[in-house]
Amino acid sequence: MATIRTPSPATTAPEVNPPGYSRRRALAVLVMIVFFMIINFGDKAVLGLAAVPIMNEFRIDRSMFGLIASSFYLLYSIAGIVVGFVSARVSSRLLLFSMAMMWTVAQIPVLLVATVPALVAGRVLLGAAEGPATPMSMHALYKWFPAHKRGLPSALQISGAALGVLIAAPVLTWLISDHGWRAAFIALAVVSGLWGIAWLAIGKDGPFDRDTRHGHGAAAGPSGAAGNPKIWKILVSGTFLGSAASAFGGHWAMAVNSAWLPEYLHTTMQFGPADVAGVISAISGTSLVLLLTISPLSDLLLRRGLSVRWAHGALQGVAVTIAGLAMVLVPLADASAIRLVLIVIAFSGSAVAFPLHYMTAAAVVPPAKRGAVFGILAATGTLPGLVAPYLTGRIVDGGATVVAGYGTAFTLAAVVMIACGVYAIAAIRPAHDARRLTRVGTTGTTDDATAGAV
């Protein structure tokens, strides 16, 4: 059946900006949100970078350390969902400020009482405060950019993750090596507090989708479903499930990266702290290049008439699948150089999916429900963080050797990533789902005539 192409936003959307729009303010908000994400992912990376000294000081094995790393995600998903619904009534300015302040507070317990319970308590609180960070900062960003101009800002927002590790890895490694792992925690607490103060002065809710704060439905353009479909109908659409799957596969790799890759490089490849930081930075740098090239390219393809399914949907599934294929080859590579190349591909390739899965989900969500759906999408997609670090630690401890254990853990990660990527390619069908949800939202029924649309 012929493909139903989503109309090009560039040709249908008016170029008149709404009252209250300021290009300078939009760019300032974008810069602040990028720094917000840099701090966010510095917080995630610090535990993995400090894995060896923490395990030595507290005399814990990999299973226990994996449990500590997983504790970060205990409330991560729940907080993302709750704050997603709250975002319809509370300004993005206040939400992001509150998160940054909680990041500062979360670093304090282990600094006051250096025990495993204190470390766990801090990571749980930090996870609860960071769970909504990505979806809510993306939601705040969308308030300053219309649908047809969100590709590059979305990529820059997600690139904060790559920059966070690219910048934080060498700085935090230096602090840990020269001043102890607590110095890294202190530095992150201070930076979070300073960001929150600056955000109060600079941050402001944008004029696009302004009516969504009070929960009123808005007629969506070509990038979103019109009407007011129930959230559960959005959540069972193939586009949402496929977007969540690509996020799930990508976050499995990210969770293993944050918790275990530094230790893997140190233990199995005999890398020193500086070399470990260099590899982590190389992964982040590659992610950054992919984000700043592939995401704008996908927007260009969309403007040239390619459907959202292929310009945004299939692309994210392919990226996760390729990263998974590289992951399965990592334990099989004999030469260190080849293994390093595979490691970079395996842990950076999925980055492409992170802005795109929000964009495909937004294509079937009315603006009034975008914050809630983004929160649920983030909560679902980041579930690997709750499982992967602990499971990886158990597998490594249970292996015949450390090398064999990591080989099994990487193979499991590859299977998850490939399965998620393939499913995303098949399931993401924004034009079909937007039409179906429009019918559901306005008439309460689904038009069977659209069943074959893609």
pLDDT attached to residue 233: 87
pTM of the model: 0.69
pLDDT, tens digit, for every residue of 36-84?
Answer: 998 988 888 788 888 889 888 888 888 888 888 888 888 888 888 898 8
Of 61, 73, 158, residue with least CA distance to 393: 61
pLDDT attached to residue 10: 42
Of 28, 73, 40, residue with least CA distance to 252: 73
pLDDT, tens digit, for every residue of 350-378?
Answer: 888 887 888 888 788 887 787 788 888 88
Dist CA 157 CA 9 (whole Å): 21
**Mean pLDDT for the stretch of residues 370-387:** 83
Per-residue pLDDT band at 11 (split at 50, 70, 90): very low
**Mean pLDDT for the stretch of residues 281-288:** 84
Contact predicate 126/201, CB 8 Å: no
pLDDT, tens digit, for every residue of 69-78?
Answer: 888 888 888 8
pLDDT, tens digit, for every residue of 297-346?
Answer: 777 777 777 777 787 778 889 999 999 999 999 988 877 889 999 999 99
Instruction: Work out the percent of the chain whose per-residue pLDDT is above 90.
Output: 25
Among 86-95, 224-233, 402-411, the range of highest mean pLDDT:
402-411
Dist CA 434 CA 240 (whole Å): 11
pLDDT attached to residue 452: 32
Which tokens go with 340? 């390093």
pLDDT, tens digit, for every residue of 150-195?
Answer: 777 887 887 877 777 677 778 888 899 889 889 999 999 999 999 9
pLDDT attached to residue 217: 38
- Amino acid of residue 152: L
pLDDT attached to residue 158: 79
Mean pLDDT, the chain, integer? 81
Q: Does residue 292 register a pLDDT over 90?
A: no
Per-residue pLDDT band at 27 (split at 50, 70, 90): very high
pLDDT attached to residue 14: 47
pLDDT attached to residue 210: 55
pLDDT attached to residue 351: 82
Dist CA 291 CA 287 (whole Å): 6
**Mean pLDDT for the stretch of residues 382-397:** 87
Q: Give the angle 297-298-299 at the CA atoms, nearest 5°.
A: 90
pLDDT, tens digit, for every residue of 209-266?
Answer: 654 443 333 334 444 455 577 888 888 888 899 999 999 999 899 889 878 898 889 8
